[in-house]
Amino acid sequence: MEEQYVYKEVKSIVFGLFSPHTIKKMASAKIVTPELYDKEGYPVDGGLMDVRLGVIDPGLKCKTCGSKLKECIGHFGYIELARPIVHIKFVPLILGWLRATCRDCGRALLPKNKTEKVREEMKRLEKDESLEAVRRLIKAVMTTMKNINKCPHCKAKQYKISLEKPYTFLENEKRLSPIEIRTRLEKIPDEDCEVLGLKPQVARPEWTILTVMAIPPVTIRPSITLETGESSEDDLTHKLGDIVRINQRLFENINAGAPEIIIEDLWDLLQYHVTTFFDNDIAQLPPARHRSGQPLKTITERIKSKEGRIRHNLAGKRTNFSARTVISPDPMIGLNEVGVPKIIAMKLTVPERATEWNIAHLKKFVEKAPDQYPSANYIVRPDGKKKKITTETREQLLEEIQPGYIIERHLMDGDIAVFNRQPSLHRMSMMCHRIRVLPYKTFRLNPAVCHPYNADFDGDEMNLHIPQTEEARAEAEILMEVQTQLISPRYGLTIIGCMQDAISGNYILTKDLELSRKDAIALLIMVGEEDLSRLPKKDTVDGREVFSALLPKDFDFVGQTRKGDEVIIKNGKLKKGYMDSHNLGQESGLLLRIMVKQYGKDFTLQYLHKLFKLGIYTLDKYGFSTAISDTDLPAEANQKIQAILDRAEHDVDSLIEKYHDRDLETFPGKTLLETLELKILEVLNKARNEIGKVVTEYAKHDTGSGIMTRSGSRGNPINMAQMAACVGQQALRGKRIEKGYYNRTLSCFKENDLTPKARGFIRDGFKHGLTPSEFFFAAMTGRDSLMDTALRTPKSGYLYRRLANAMQDLKVEYDYTVRDASSRIIQFHYGEDGMDVAKTEGGSINIKAIIKQVVGEEA
């Protein structure tokens, strides 16, 4: 395939306007008739579907270039307009030019020396600053010219020119026809064009008044053949048909010497059609419509906005060799693996080029029937011909294979794939995994890597891409594989860690579990640890010792648990403390971060997998579940809680009383009522926190829920308190609930009732159950938070898009400066110290560790 084409690189693109001359020169056909097809259904010569404009029918050949469908990119045509037409996109600019030039001599309304000065300044700005600065200068100059009413060159008086939208120009309330405008623009000399913001070599002002119009090739407006055999034309073709038809009519009328009014009318109509051909969304014009009443999608609409050509087709690409299905968890496959259903593995392929050494191996794939796994789907001959392997062609193709042939074989274990979940908000949303072909129909994913993807298994779907070239595979493997993404570039800590059950399990194991040697060995074997020599030779083993058996022999670590207890690991033995989310979890703790640094990413990945399994199997063996009784409290605790609540309510009552007596000291700048609200909130929050403390103190520690909150694997003490004792104050916009009915929140309360229960304080716990009014308040805040999420997502999405667009081309140069695409320096040293966040430990290098390494423990 490669031999056929010469690949070239585009170095730059220059923008400019088409002159009538160029339009004619580049056109391959002149369009003269609005008819599309003749009686036989063959495109009419000189019609809009002329075969010289390209082919959209399979089988036909392009009359201009001789290529077939898909090879011919299409060719432009042109029509001669009977009368000049204003191009709608340039209307505001034309207005500016008319105002800034003399109506008689066509010179810019600037004294000669000033013109020179402006042009020099423009040159300087273009060189030293940006074209944006040039544009600003032009804009400023144009506004000064607008107000000059006597030509400094020929002393002619200037009249006021105004625009009657959308495209009628008036001079002194008298209409200027496009012909007049064009003659005026023609008079502007080249030197003066520059002051008007035009580079005359590429854009003469009169070119914005169309005398000939380019007809886009048929390939950009293909007709669709419906199932019924009817062909339906593209919107653009419809619009062009209108233009050509009216244009012909106008020609005929002019030639026949029709009255001026008829010609004017037709001219206006032509102007309308040409305008809507370019933009069908102009405020003052009724949009051109289909017969069904649906507006036509013309050129501007095709380019613009998210679904337009630029953002949809040019900046966004689609790929082959990809798959999408539901994901489900499988903690048994590696963190850097992805389970691929067999049917998908048999559809997606990896091209492998046959060489002398692998030909026998590749032939085996072709030998097998294509409906068997693993076999191959296609072979590609060296000349680029692609052949599908079927049961019939199999034998013959097998004979044919020689070195140089490419065999597209099924996916196999260990192949490289890129796995992705939308929204792809950061680079860890697209990582490279190794394929594991598995039965059933879902992608399998290790739950430990859910976090970077932000995936869960409630029906989420994910995408899989198979890189097709060696370069792509190499880059995917080296830059994108899961282990290379362990450390987040956002904060320099591990983003992948244990979660949920794995944390609970390790917590139980390392906290205070003792198990028989037999059990310990069983556990380690299940986890996949083969080296059992590190397990102490005792009959009963400590959970910590089991945990330590997985650690590297020389691993030293000092850290903290969530509660602040010390964790000490020395020589690969957990000496003190226990494991919880602070050390094992995602986005936290230095344990895993240090491990990556000391033992490398591959080891850490392996270790994480084992650790994960260790946690799960511990739970498997010792059982883990949560019950409603987890939140049971002794009577004493309940009394305490009720006392706290009663006291809080009493305090609030006395505050309210003080308020009514105007006895409350107001905070500066606040009204009395606002002060009261703040004070009440403070009292109630204090009460809730106290209750939280009581619940954590009295609730049983060894229950499922207790372990979960303590280990940090799920939930927090507040959740516990909400279930066991008191849900607490429901707040809307940082205030107690105050809206609803006139002067009250719900109709079951008295007006102006300021007591906690009438303003959204939920005294009951979830387990006990909520009263109807409490439930209503909970629903109010629940709904508010739903709204909040729904409103936030597009806002933050837009912010992200803007940020990404503004900063996407910043890069670090070899001298550590950060520069943008035009080599403008943004930072002289990246981040002031040149450190890559993903290579730091939480944002810096670990100096304490270095000092400790040198000086020793006593530091």
The 376-380 sheet, strands edge to edge: 349-353, 406-410, 376-380, 386-388
Distances (CA, A) of 285 to 60, 269, 281, 288, 690: 40, 12, 8, 9, 67
Helix axes 501-512, 704-711, angle to 10 degrees: 90
40 binds another protein (CB under 8 A): no
Q: Least distance from C-beta 138 to another protein, angstroms?
A: 9
Q: Which of 211, 247, 298, 300 binds another protein (CB under 8 A)?
A: 300
CA distance readout (Å), 121 to 127, 148, 194, 537: 10, 21, 11, 87
Choose the binding region for another protein from 10-18, 30-38, 432-440, 551-559 (rule: CB under 8 A).
10-18
Cis check for the bond before 205: say yes or no (omega within 30 of 0). no
734 lies in the binding site for another protein (CB under 8 A): yes
Provide the residue count of the chain: 859
Nearer to another protein, 304 or 757 (CB): 304
Candidates 36-44, 243-251, 628-636, 836-844: pick the segment binding another protein (CB under 8 A): 836-844
Q: Given the complex with another protein, which of 568 and 825 has the nearer CB atom?
A: 825
839: contact with another protein by CB under 8 A: yes
> Would you say 366 and 437 are in contact if contact means Cβ atoms under 8 Å apart?
no
**Residues in Cβ contact with 735 at an 8 Å cutoff, skipping those fewer than 6 apart:** 677, 681
| By the rule CB under 8 A, 320 interacts with another protein | no
Binds another protein by CB under 8 A, chosen from 530, 733, 751, 769:
733
Q: Among 2, 4, 5, 11, which residue interacts with another protein (rule: CB under 8 A)?
A: 11
- Scan residues 323-342 and list those touching another protein (CB under 8 A): none
- Distance of closest approach, residue 667 Cβ to another protein, in angstroms: 4
Of residues 200 and 536, the one with the C-beta less far from another protein: 200
Q: Does 628 participate in binding another protein (rule CB under 8 A)? A: no
Cα 691 to Cα 729: distance, rounded to the nearest angstrom? 13
Q: How many CA atoms lie within 13 A of 398 on its CB side?
A: 18
460-489 residues in contact with another protein (CB under 8 A) are 475, 479, 489
Query: Should residue 664 be labelled a site residue for another protein when binding is judged by CB under 8 A?
Result: no
Helices (H), 463-572: 470-475, 501-512, 517-527, 543-550
Residue 589 lies near another protein (rule: CB under 8 A): no
Selection from 448, 447, 443, 446 nearest residue 461 by Cα: 443
Q: Tokens 């890597």 appear where? A: 449
Stretch in the footprint of another protein (CB under 8 A) among 365-373, 747-755, 766-774, 796-804? 796-804
What are the backbone angles phi and psi of residue 29, rounded to the nearest 5°?
A: -155, 145
- Give one word for 733, left, alpha or beta, with left for phi > 0 and alpha for psi -120 to 50: left
Residue located via tokens 């053949």: 225
List the structure tokens of 33.
Answer: 């008739």
Q: DSSP secondary-structure letter at 394?
A: H
Binding mask 739-758 for another protein (x = CB under 8 A): --------------------
Interface region with another protein, contact rule CB under 8 A, candidates 246-254, 651-659, 706-714, 830-838 = 830-838
With respect to another protein, which residue has the nearer C-beta, 186 or 395?
Answer: 186
Structure tokens at 776: 């209503």
- Whether 161 and 185 have beta carbons less than 8 Å apart is answered as no
Shortest Å, Cβ 423 to another protein: 8
Query: Does 821 participate in binding another protein (rule CB under 8 A)?
Result: yes
Query: Judged by CB, which is closer to another protein: 262, or 845?
Result: 845
Spatial distance between the Cα atoms of 384 and 4, rounded to a whole number of angstroms: 9
CB closer to another protein out of 189 and 404: 189
Alpha-carbon distance of 103 to 128, in angstroms, equals 35
Does residue 1 belong to the site contacting another protein (CB under 8 A)? no
Q: Select the span of 3-11, 78-86, 505-513, 543-551 touching another protein (CB under 8 A).
A: 3-11
Does 636 sit near another protein (CB under 8 A)? no
Which listed residue (308, 559, 572, 717) binds another protein by CB under 8 A? 308
Considering only CA atoms, which of 213, 216, 212 is closest in space to residue 54? 216
Q: Which stretch binds another protein (CB under 8 A): 33-41, 76-84, 651-659, 786-794?
A: 786-794
Min CB(747)–another protein separation in Å: 28
Q: Which stretch binds another protein (CB under 8 A): 30-38, 405-413, 651-659, 677-685?
A: 677-685
CB of 717 to another protein, least distance (A): 16
Q: Please, which of residues 187-206 interact with another protein by CB under 8 A?
A: 197-199, 201-203
How many Å apart are CA 313 and CA 305, to the nearest integer?
Answer: 11
Residue from 20, 447, 492, 577 binding another protein (CB under 8 A): 492
Q: Does 378 bind another protein (CB under 8 A)?
A: no
Residue 525 sits in the site that holds another protein (CB under 8 A): no
Lookup: tokens for 587 = 């986005």
Residues within window 110-149 making contact with another protein, judged by CB under 8 A: 130-132, 134-135
Cross-strand bridge partners of residue 169: 163, 176
- Rounded to a whole number of angstroms, the minimum distance from the CB of residue 831 to another protein is 3
Task: Tell me which residues in 386-445 interact with another protein (CB under 8 A).
Answer: 425-427
Considering only CA atoms, which of 706, 723, 722, 725 is closest in space to residue 714?
706
Q: Which stretch binds another protein (CB under 8 A): 8-16, 338-346, 527-535, 740-748?
A: 8-16
Q: Does 214 bind another protein (CB under 8 A)?
A: no
Cis preceding-peptide flag for 166 (omega within 30 of 0) = yes
Contacting residues for 415 by C-beta, under 8 A, at least 6 apart: 350, 434, 435, 466
- Decide if residue 855 touches another protein (CB under 8 A): yes
Alpha carbon distance 152, 165 (integer Å): 30
Size of the site for another protein (CB under 8 A): 105
Amino acid in the structure at residue 430:
M
One residue of 70, 347, 576, 811 binding another protein per CB under 8 A? 811
